């Protein structure tokens, strides 16, 4: 004879098995919207995100624009929102212009996490300001990265002389912070280094190359350049080469596409500061999944750097951080 309690607990057990089965059957969809699709940095980020998605049984959608520009990114974001994923991981291409478009996702009940770049001040979940709604910001410490670049360039030029920053455009959190860190480090610790006016290239390596030559034409005693992202660094390096100044004008590069190995080996680039984009993508997916399954997540996750130069570029533990193409 089964007691009422026994029947009730059997029922409860059946019910809990059924609900947990339902929970396990729910396949989450997470969208990753990069700054642009044709950039080894974001391609590497996608690989890391896919590795986490495979491990967790999540569907990952990668959808982005062909250039780094809010004008092209916002329509892609709108299309992603229309597909109603459970979460969106996005590298916003502008600190202010992506706030309202992302609020639409938030208002539609989609979890928003920013990766690489941020909106507003990047301080989320504070209850202050109009851009604190994303759940988390997962990225390199870009002010620190800029400081590391400054130290590397100052050392490469013997602590004195003229340098400049080749940058993308104002309003991008990452590259703004790299420039800020670079200038602060030079001002604080390298008083004999003069930082000339920043050249903005719109993420166009050709433009960065001709700007390098323009600065060299005006300042023949130019000693070095900091390329603040992949295309800025590639272009600045090409400009140095075209000016016949390889080795005379030192290049410190942010980011590490495949071509960086050659550029370091030939002496065109002195130091490359590699970010860990796969880590950003991996922890982006893990964080979204944790949130979707009812767990709290860190409001900020900082990922690392690997500094590459001639002395270590052949080491597989260093070379593994070269970006995927």
Q: Which residues bind ligand T6T (CB under 6 A)?
A: 35, 39, 41-42, 116-117, 174, 229-231, 254-255, 275
- Rounded distance, CA 240 to CA 224, Å? 9
Q: How far apart are CA 77 and CA 59, in angstroms?
A: 17
Question: For residues 67 and 309, which CB has a smaller minimum distance to ligand T6T in the complex?
Answer: 67
Q: What are phi and psi of 296, to 5 degrees?
A: -80, 155
**Spatial distance between the Cα atoms of 222 and 250, rounded to a whole number of angstroms:** 9
| Residues in CB range of 99: below 8 A, 6 or more apart | 119, 120, 130, 131
* Furthest-apart CA atoms within the chain: distance in Å: 98
| Residue 117 or 201 having the CB closest to ligand T6T | 117
Residue nearest to ligand T6T (CB): 230
Q: Among residues 229 and 287, whose Cβ is nearest to ligand T6T?
A: 229
- Contact between 287 and 113 (Cβ < 8 Å): yes
The residue length of the chain stands at: 325
Find the shortest distance in angstroms from Cβ 210 to ligand T6T.
19
- What are the φ/ψ torsions at residue 114 (nearest 5 degrees)? -100, 140
Residue 25 neighbours by CB under 8 Å, 6+ apart: none
CA 247 from chain center: how many Å?
29
Minimum Å gap between C-beta 174 and ligand T6T is 4
Is residue 106 within 8 Å of 85, Cβ to Cβ?
no
User: Any bridge partners for residue 225, and if so which?
Assistant: 164, 251
Nearer to ligand T6T, 69 or 125 (CB): 69
CB of 42 to ligand T6T, least distance (A): 6
CB of 39 to ligand T6T, least distance (A): 5
* Distance from the Cα of residue 181 to its chain's centroid: 16
Provide the minimum distance between the beta carbon of 233 and ligand T6T in the complex, in angstroms, as a whole number: 9
Q: How far is the CB of 255 from ligand T6T (least distance, A)?
A: 5
Q: Nearer Cβ to ligand T6T, position 209 or 222?
A: 209
- How near is the Cβ of 28 to ligand T6T at its closest, in Å? 26
Cβ closer to ligand T6T: 229 or 245? Answer: 229
Output 35 or 70, the one with its CB closest to ligand T6T: 35
CB of 266 to ligand T6T, least distance (A): 21
Nearer of residues 245 and 303 to ligand T6T, judged by Cβ = 303
Concatenating the DSSP letter of every residue in 259-324 gives: THHHHHHTTS-SEEEEE-HHHHHHHHHHHHHHHHTT----SEEEE-EEEE-TTTTT-HHHHTTSPP
């Amino acid at each position: 004879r089964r007691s009422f309690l026994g029947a009730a607990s059997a029922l409860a057990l059946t019910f809990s098995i059924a609900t947990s089965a339902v929970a396990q059957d729910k396949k989450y969809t997470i969208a990753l919207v990069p700054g642009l699709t044709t950039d080894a940095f974001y391609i590497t980020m996608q690989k890391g995100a896919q590795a986490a998605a495979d491990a967790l049984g999540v569907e990952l959608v990668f959808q982005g624009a062909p250039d780094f520009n809010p004008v092209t990114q916002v329509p892609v974001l709108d299309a992603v929102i229309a597909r109603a994923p459970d979460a969106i991981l996005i590298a916003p291409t502008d600190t202010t212009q992506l706030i309202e478009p992302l609020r639409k996702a938030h208002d539609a009940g989609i979890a928003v996490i920013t990766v690489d770049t941020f909106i507003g001040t990047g301080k989320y979940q504070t209850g202050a300001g109009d851009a604190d709604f994303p759940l988390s910001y997962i990225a390199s410490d870009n002010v620190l990265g800029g400081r590391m670049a400054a130290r590397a360039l100052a050392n490469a030029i013997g602590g004195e002389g003229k340098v400049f920053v080749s940058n993308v455009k104002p309003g991008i959190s990452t590259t703004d912070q790299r420039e800020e860190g670079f200038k602060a480090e030079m001002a604080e610790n390298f008083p004999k280094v003069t930082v000339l006016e920043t050249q903005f290239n719109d993420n166009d390596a050709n433009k960065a190359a001709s700007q390098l030559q323009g600065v060299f034409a005006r300042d023949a005693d130019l000693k070095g350049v900091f390329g603040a992202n992949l295309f800025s660094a590639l272009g600045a390096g090409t400009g140095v080469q075209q000016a016949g100044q390889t080795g005379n004008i030192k290049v410190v590069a942010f980011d590490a596409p495949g071509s960086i190995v050659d550029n370091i080996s030939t002496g065109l680039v002195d130091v490359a500061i590699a970010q860990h984009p796969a880590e950003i993508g991996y922890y982006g997916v893990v964080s979204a999944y944790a949130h979707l399954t009812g767990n709290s997540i860190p409001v900020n996750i900082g990922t690392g750097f690997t500094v590459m130069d001639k002395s270590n570029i052949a080491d597989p533990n260093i070379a593994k951080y070269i970006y995927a193409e």
